[in-house]
Amino acid sequence: MMKTKLLLLTFCLYFGSFYAQEDTLTNPIEEKWIPQYKIEGSFEANYGSTDLNNEFIRVLLFGGQITPELKDKVLNRTNKRNRFGVELNYETRFTELTDTLFPKLPDYRYYIGFGSFTNLSSSYTKDLYKLAFYGNKQFENETAKLARSNFTSYRFEKISFGLTNTDESRSFGVSLIIGDQFSGFDFEQADLFTHIDGTHLTVDYDGKIRLSDAVRRGFMAFSGAGIGLDFQTLFYKKMFRAKITNLGIAFWKRNTSFSNNTEQIIFDGVEINNIFSTSEEEFLTNAEDILPQMESQGFVTMLPTIVEIDRTANPELKTQPLCGFRYKFFSNYLPQFYGGIQHLLTDNFIVRSDLTWGGYSGLRLGIGAYYSSKRIRAGMEATNFSGMFFNNGNGNGVSVFGAFIF
């Protein structure tokens, strides 16, 4: 009997131990997940104007016919000072989340990144618009006031290295700037007088023209190079964020053209017997007569620096107001202000809407949707939602970003 009880006890202990081991294997204690790396990417594209409507802008950017009716419609909206601009930017960044790299900065992690920035902008008078799209006959025996008009086109890439602290409240980085192309026309004075019967033109001119090599000859054969700085921080109890992007300069040396003149230019016109037999060289020679003398000289430009200040979201509030400010230096940019509201639909999904004024256009409506989890963050914004559906709108814009943590 004792042997039977011992066998039964041994049997129970054995199989009890077996099932306990099986339970441990099938339901292991979950180890705490420690993120190692983060990859981020962002893309933004937008265009806008204070006077040009969407129908007119689409023809300018993508081709088509500018009809007299369309020109007249825009002319009625044109003021003494007008703006037009296009932005196309993207960035990627890889961040090491565990290696400090610098022992004396234990709370900071390093990142490396790449970005591309394209900015085209102009500021112009009403007379310049009329001259460009209606010709100079309307100014016969009159002076067209073209002063304080300018045009800037900037395209560059950057390779960045920087540090960010563990709670992502502060970061700073330095970038090598690879300049692809720059064009700048700045007219302090440009008074164009058309003499009676169009016999000749007189231009009282004071301006600066800077042109880089327009031909890209490979990745390392860039037209300019420079250095840029990026900085971001939270402040005032972490309720607000300040961000500076591309604070720096570029040096342009390859096949550059430069002029900075004050002069009076008299243009007597061009004699063409048959336009179909006139060569391109003849057109260029005649055009050079009305342009200031250009020199093969390098020049230095400031980067189109972006400054942003906005109110951060409180994760404990389901619905909350948002506001912010954005400005881009050296790009004919108006100070941009926005205000709106954000709502938490679920623990992971947020929607927002805002009204914005400034930048390259007037008042506009924006909407956005965002997703956030332990490993993934993503979002999309229509920065000019009202302009997407109306020809009389003043621009369009979209912004997309995402981050993967692993």
Looking at residue 167, the DSSP 8-state letter turns out to be T
Distances (CA, A) of 377 to 41, 190, 246, 324, 402: 10, 51, 24, 21, 5
The answer to whether the beta carbons of residues 350 and 340 sit under 8 Å apart is no
For residue 136, the model assigns a pLDDT of 85
Q: What is the pLDDT of residue 7?
A: 37
Task: Give Cα separations from 374 to 38, 276, 381 (angstroms).
Answer: 12, 67, 21
Q: Using CA of residue 121, residue 123, residue 126, residue 131, what is the dihedral sign?
A: negative
Domain membership of residue 197 (yes or no) is yes
Q: Residue 27: inside a domain, yes or no?
A: no
Domain for residue 382, yes or no?
yes
Q: What is the pLDDT along the chain (406 residues), one digit of tens a residue?
A: 434 433 333 434 333 433 333 333 344 444 678 899 999 999 999 999 999 999 999 888 888 888 999 999 999 999 989 999 999 999 999 999 998 888 889 999 999 999 999 999 999 999 999 998 998 888 989 999 998 899 999 999 999 999 999 999 999 999 999 999 999 999 999 898 988 876 788 889 999 999 998 776 555 568 999 999 999 999 999 999 999 999 999 999 988 999 998 988 877 755 545 444 555 455 455 555 556 778 899 999 999 999 999 999 998 899 999 999 999 999 999 999 999 999 999 999 999 999 999 999 989 999 999 999 999 999 999 999 988 877 778 899 999 999 999 9
Helices 68-75/54-62 angle, 10° precision: 120
- 265 contacts: CB under 8 Å, gap ≥ 6: 202, 203, 205, 290, 292
Q: How many domains is the chain built from?
A: 1
Structural domain contains residue 5? no
- Residue 1 in any domain: the answer is no
Burial of 253 (0-12, 13-18, 19+ CB in 10 A): middle
369 is in which domain, residue-wise?
Answer: 32-401
C-alpha–C-alpha distance, residues 56 and 50, integer Å: 12
What pLDDT sits at residue 25?
A: 39
Residue 167 falls inside a structural domain? yes
